Amino acid sequence: MSDTTTALIALDWGTSSLRGFRLASTGEVLETRASAHGIQHLPEPGEAGFEAAFAALCGDWLAAGPVPVVAGGMVGSAQGWREVPYLSCPTPLAGLYEAAERVVTRDGVEILLAPGLIFEPEGGTPEVMRGEEIQIAGTLAGRPDWQRASTLVLPGTHCKWAEIRDGSVTGFGTYMTGEIFALLRGHSILGRLMSDAPVSEDTRNGAFARGVAQAAEAGPGDLTRQLFSTRTLGLTGQLPGGALADYCSGLLIGHEIVSGLRDSGDGPVVLVGSGALCARYGEALRQLSRQDPAAIIENPAPAGLHRFARDAGLLRQES
Amino acid sequence: MSDTTTALIALDWGTSSLRGFRLASTGEVLETRASAHGIQHLPEPGEAGFEAAFAALCGDWLAAGPVPVVAGGMVGSAQGWREVPYLSCPTPLAGLYEAAERVVTRDGVEILLAPGLIFEPEGGTPEVMRGEEIQIAGTLAGRPDWQRASTLVLPGTHCKWAEIRDGSVTGFGTYMTGEIFALLRGHSILGRLMSDAPVSEDTRNGAFARGVAQAAEAGPGDLTRQLFSTRTLGLTGQLPGGALADYCSGLLIGHEIVSGLRDSGDGPVVLVGSGALCARYGEALRQLSRQDPAAIIENPAPAGLHRFARDAGLLRQES
């Protein structure tokens, strides 16, 4: 029988939401909760807002006695509970705790906040992440092969591509794919022709693949021209309104993958995030490189926070 | 003394505005008027709305007797007064009138509507324009050198690059540069760090040039990653908030020019549009190709409409 004693409370605390996990000492997730109290939507302003959000979500988990608490994400940003400075890449993931910062609630509960990462390539522009490093740590936990060499892709509003070598994040890049897609669909001329009119799965997948194929042929700078074809393919009836969003998504994801693969090593590509979106990335990856993603990992945050806590010495030794 | 007799009424009728020009037989602009009655902002719905908008802006120009009237732009689209089908490229600009359509008001005034252009490259996606063909015709009027071979660039919400050979538009492309910049500034995470805090002209120009330099180094697909650096350069204090919009603009315009020049011939590059925006394109062009624009042409629409009317035989022979 597994041990169901609470050994750790782990918080994945982002801009728009707060997720809490009650973990066993093994890292097993015993309970998951979520609230809308992201750092920009706290119940009251200032430090008290963070305390109130935490107490509302997890207060009863502490009723039986003290339990270590860790948190990752925007809670450690300049707009968070306390700013935890970025660690510079290359960063050994096992050393995140060395840069962590501690906050203490009025009730005396200590919470260890994880740092974000910064990557400043020579002659390039800086890259930052906050929260994804925890997901990366969780994805790599128990996978020495991926720790040795892999490329982790975390699709979303701002998609991260992280290069892993010998247990360290050696560098990473951020693509605005998700945000730009949302802007184009919601606010641009392209969105006007996109409709919810039902079209077959085949038509939608075909439109997505057509966008990816366009991306494969793109030269430098071609994206904003190719995007306009979302409109003209609709205007000329070559694609139905119900498939235009798929085409546009294929273009954007395709461009991202073309660029990301060029800067990646030859380790396996691991997709991290929601299944539906990662499936799309997997399709585009196959189309562009004839390789399958090594895996799709959903929700590695609890495992990452568990590892962070263990590295920090907050957990009793597992028996 | 020049002849100030009204020989032609020319309308540049777009989505959001209507401009009217009273022209002499030579093409000289005798008077210019504008109203907000673009085809999506008519005083009343349907055909009557077009008539009312026209009468309100230009009715008195017809008081002394009939004058030929021509119009170009979205007024000839499916949402316009009457749909004028697209002409296929390559299109001789002198033959626009052959595809024109006539509308007649209740008062018996005939208005000749210019067609748009469509370009369907083999194996590519279709391109369309409506209104720019008139500006192109006006830009090329009296310039046999540019008619022979040139690249015309029309910056704006949707920037057109048109390739000219022997008096014909042989092909063109559309870049969403202006619209995407507006979306990023107004609605994206990048806009949050952009401020109106005053910074020196040098700083702003330097930030623009830095964006263009990034574009010069971009591989296929890199745009959405480079755009995110607008944020990180602001976050890390490497660029002041008042210069971030310039940097972002340099990135987008730079990418466009890298792509556009690759698909262009070796004729001169002529910029067509507002002086301030064209000046920025000129800077980026110099930085990326060490060539100056051959010229910046502002407001060639009246000349284009005059040429269209003359080709259609609506003007008395000039003496």
What tens digit of pLDDT does each residue of B146-174 get? 999 999 999 999 999 999 999 999 999 99
The full 3-state SS of B169-231, as one line of letters, equals EEEEEEECHHHHHHHHHHHCHHHHHCCCCCCCHHHHHHHHHHHHHHHHHCCCCCHHHHHHHHH
So what's the pLDDT on residue B123? Answer: 85
The average confidence (pLDDT) of chain B is 95
CB atoms within 10 A of CB A201: 7
Whether the per-residue pLDDT at A111 is higher than 90: the answer is yes
CA distance B178 to B159: 7
In sequence order, what DSSP letters do the residues of A74-121 get, joined into one string? GGGSTTSSS--PPEESSEEGGGGGGG-EEEE-TT--EEEEPP-EEE--
pLDDT tens-place string over residues A45-101 = 999 999 999 999 999 999 989 999 999 999 999 999 999 999 999 999 999 999 999
Question: Which pLDDT score is estimated for A3?
Answer: 77
pLDDT at B191 over 90: yes
Q: Answer whether residue A1 shows pLDDT above 70.
A: no
Residues of chain B numbered 185-204 and touching chain A (CB < 8 Å):
187-189
Q: Which of A128, A210, A222, A253 to mutate to test the interface with B (most CBs of B within 10 A)?
A: A222
Task: From B287, B285, B257, B100, select the one nearest B173 (Cα to Cα).
Answer: B257
Contact between chains at A223 and B228 (C-beta distance less than 8 A): no
Cα→Cα distances A255→A168, B27, B266, B274, Å: 26, 47, 28, 31
* Alpha-carbon distance A168 to nearest alpha carbon in chain B (angstroms): 22
Question: What's the whole-number average pLDDT of chain A?
Answer: 95
Report the residue from B176, B187, B222 with minimal CB separation from A228.
Answer: B176
- Chain B contact for A158 (CB, 8 A cutoff): yes
Q: Under an 8 A CB cutoff, do A176 and B225 touch? A: yes
Q: Are B176 and B216 in contact (CB under 8 A)?
A: no
Amino acid letter at A80? G
**pLDDT tens digits, one per residue of B192-204:** 999 988 999 999 9
pLDDT level of residue B79 (50, 70, 90 thresholds): very high
Interface membership of A183 toward B (CB under 8 Å): yes
CB within 8 Å: B220 and A127: no
3-state helix, strand, coil in chain B (%, to 5): 40, 20, 35
- Among B301, B314, B307, B297, smallest CA distance to B20 is for B301
Q: Report chain A's C-alpha Rg in angstroms.
A: 21
Closest Cβ–Cβ partner in B189, B227, B258 for A220: B258
In the prediction, which pLDDT does A319 show? 42
Tokens, residue B129: 């324009």
pLDDT surpasses 60 at A188: yes
Q: How far apart are CA B312 and CA B316, in angstroms?
A: 11
* Cβ within 8 Å, pair A255-B189: no
| Nearest CB to A235 within list B128, B177, B233 | B128
- The percentage of residues in chain A with a pLDDT greater than 90, rounded to a whole number, is 94
Confidence of residue B188 (pLDDT cuts 50, 70, 90): very high
Q: What angle do CA B152, B157, B159 make, to 5 degrees?
A: 20
pLDDT tens for residues B251-304?
Answer: 999 999 999 999 999 999 999 999 999 999 999 999 999 899 999 999 999 999
Write out pLDDT tens, residues B104-123. 999 999 999 999 999 999 88
Rounded CA separation A295/A268 (Å): 9
Fold match flag (B8-120+304-311 vs B175-297):
yes
Structure tokens at B159: 């920037």
Give the chain B residue nearest A239 (alpha carbons): B125
Statement: residue A29 has pLDDT above 90: yes
Please, which contacts does B55-61 make with residues 24 or more away whose CB atoms are closer than 8 Å? Answer: B55/B105, B55/B107, B57/B18, B57/B20, B57/B33, B58/B9, B58/B11, B58/B20, B58/B22, B58/B33, B61/B6, B61/B9, B61/B20, B61/B22, B61/B31
- ipTM for this prediction: 0.94
With a CB cutoff of 8 Å and minimum separation 6, the contacts of A301 are: A10, A12, A19, A21, A72, A131, A134, A135, A138
Measured in angstroms, the CA of A97 and the nearest CA of chain B are apart by: 23
Report residue A316's pLDDT band, with 50, 70 and 90 as the boundaries.
confident
- The minimal CB distance from A179 to the residues B188, B218, B258 is found for B188
Mean pLDDT for B114-138 is 96
| Residue A143 DSSP code | -
Cβ proximity of A307 and A141 under 8 Å: yes
Ramachandran sector of residue B46 (left: φ over 0; alpha: ψ -120 to 50; beta: rest): left
Which sign, positive or negative, has the C-alpha torsion A212, A213, A217, A222? negative
Measured in residues, chain B has a length of 319
CATH of domain B8-120+304-311: 3.30.420.300
Burial of A123 (0-12, 13-18, 19+ CB in 10 A): exposed
> Any idea where the domains of chain B sit in the sequence?
8-120+304-311, 175-297
| A223/B225 touch (CB, cutoff 8 Å), yes or no | no
CATH superfamily placement of domain B175-297: 2-keto-3-deoxy-galactonokinase, C-terminal domain (3.30.420.310)
Is the pLDDT at B319 greater than 50? The verdict is: no
Q: Which fold has domain A8-120+307-311?
A: Nucleotidyltransferase; domain 5 (3.30.420)
Q: What is the separation, in whole angstroms, between the first and last Cα of chain B?
A: 14
Cα–Cα distance measured from residue A94 to residue A147, given in angstroms and rounded to the nearest whole number? 11
Give the distance from residue B109's alpha carbon to the nearest chain A alpha carbon, in angstroms: 31
pLDDT on residue A168: 97
